[in-house]
Chain A
């Protein structure tokens, strides 16, 4: 009996979901399929991304949409698994017939989804996967990366830290595409700027490691001057919290290229040690422009929190889409790509004007580095002595781009 009631209940839920399906809407909207991670330790990125996406979509729709068409978006959780990401992307493209793909979070899924988009010739707005491989070795025209990626972070980190008195380096980075790129690119640039720098052990905890204690012990045993750590989101939170219990950050200097995000600094709150080097793609209190102030206020009014860099980058992605489609005068894939590649596309975002490069479909934007300091006003750490490293300085030159692609082809053909 109970099973029957349950089945009937499920049937009703199914009916409601069916009726509520966007396919029943009267006009033909522009459909976007979003993929983020919404659960687990790294789920904060997805939460921020989806919140910002909805804010941008509602704003654009209120002003008449893109080329007179409303935007409609759905979200699915990739659970940080490339197979699930690919499955969702294929479902979006083949069944839901989306026009654009937004996301996903994390580079391993980013590469997988990017491949699906290449295969089906659908434009992907890459907002949350930061490996340089998407724009370098595995570049194809269907992916546009609207976030600053590993190459920006690692190179800016090397520029920022080269003048500081650290010689003996170690690394602790997540064991997947992004973590390895981050470490390699930092090491390469640092050795170029500071030939006397030495690199010791490189530690590779897997994504979403629950317990970093054995790694912390290893760092304390090796006693380096400083550590490069691209741990992000919840991984950075638990690493810093666990490191605090060992007084790790008083003994060793740390540089977190993606540390100064709300997803990290807010949960850590007062427990953040002073003077950890962190960088960020965007910090909500900068720049002091009307556009940024409006964005922060609208975001705060709606979600009662400050926008993180993932929120800003995802918000910017929707406005990139608007600018690109309006330049092309259509949403047809090939024409949009052609329009963006014709000449670099600049569009205005809360953090300032961003430029989309034609050569690797990667955004040019500055990276902010600074040292953590607790702020009573906000209740979490902010950055002091902040420096902005210019976007042009840290992108790949045309020669470098040619080199990575040619060598990749040699390696794999």
Chain B
């Protein structure tokens, strides 16, 4: 085992963590601030992948532009879903929310199947990247894809922006306040209705970005969100409901655990993540960065 092998695995884990972070940060915002268990979050991630496929491969839009447009599109879909469906189950409790969002998964999945995977179409869509992202770097004698570095850069940029947005901007302080004490935010005269829509839209946009960014690596297919959403819930629980920073730390941890788990103890690689989850639930039930517990 050489240093370079370890470095490559660390970078691979980082790439993996960035996907988890992008998807889980939206999930944690929606869960922590609006208190909606959004199982359809994975379906929005799937839409992100299909939107970038459609923009780039069907309409010939430039990849970088498509990478911006696709998440915005998913954010808009999120807004529509919030205004017409989710809004009505805010007070319905988690069971009703689960039922509704699970239904949404089926609807979105079948919609995608009809539009993109039906007759005469391949079931799985792959998305190509521009030539400058297709290269392979040489890191101490090991190949490493340029696109993975790009993913890490985008992830870091988004994490930086989210930090600024949540810690420094006015909206950010409302969101943080909402995650800690929703009733107080309401009492202070903030238009909670519009505020919730914004959060849901933002969360959806993040899922869409995750999907769009992952499409060239993981491809797009109906049901891709179902696989990813379970891992993201783990990230959210470990990081703490409503904590975007917590989601980042948890995603980084899980990313490295998965990669090194596979490297050293492949048969048990799945176990480590759940073990971490168990330890967090036992000793810090609110999650690493969660502030609020007991309401549930």
Contacts and interface: CB of A to CB of B under 8 A. Distances in A.
B122 A267 contact: yes
Contacts of A41: 124, 219, 221, 223-224, 227
A215 B270 contact: no
Contact of A245 (B122, B147, B221): B147
Given A39-B109, A43-B123, A47-B117, A211 B144 contact: no
B9 A247 contact: no
Nearest to A51: B119
A245 B270 contact: no
Contacts of B93: none
Interface string A153-178: 00000000000000000000000000
Of B9, B119, B123, B262, the most chain A CB neighbours within 10 A belong to B123
B223 A303 contact: no
Of B9, B143, B228, the most chain A CB neighbours within 10 A belong to B143
Nearest to A48: B123
B67 interface: no
Given A39-B223, A41-B224, A246-B143, A218 B123 contact: no
A51 B16 CA distance: 36
Contact of A40 (B19, B223, B258): B223
> Secondary structure at chain A's binding surface: helix, strand, loop or mixed?
helix
Interface size class of A (residues with CB under 8 A): 35 or more
Contact of A204 (B15, B120, B222, B266): B266
A234 B5 CA distance: 28
Given A217-B9, A246-B136, A47 B16 contact: no
Interface in B16-74: 16, 19
Nearest to B2: A221
Given A208-B227, A241-B217, A246-B143, A44 B123 contact: yes
Interface of A: 2, 39-41, 43-44, 47, 51, 79, 203-204, 206, 208, 210-211, 213-215, 217-218, 220-221, 234, 237-238, 241-242, 245-247, 262-263, 266-269, 271, 302-305
25 contacts: A41-B221, A41-B227, A43-B221, A79-B223, A204-B266, A210-B228, A211-B16, A213-B148, A214-B258, A214-B259, A214-B263, A215-B262, A217-B5, A217-B142, A218-B262, A234-B123, A237-B219, A245-B136, A245-B145, A246-B136, A247-B136, A267-B126, A268-B126, A271-B126, A305-B122
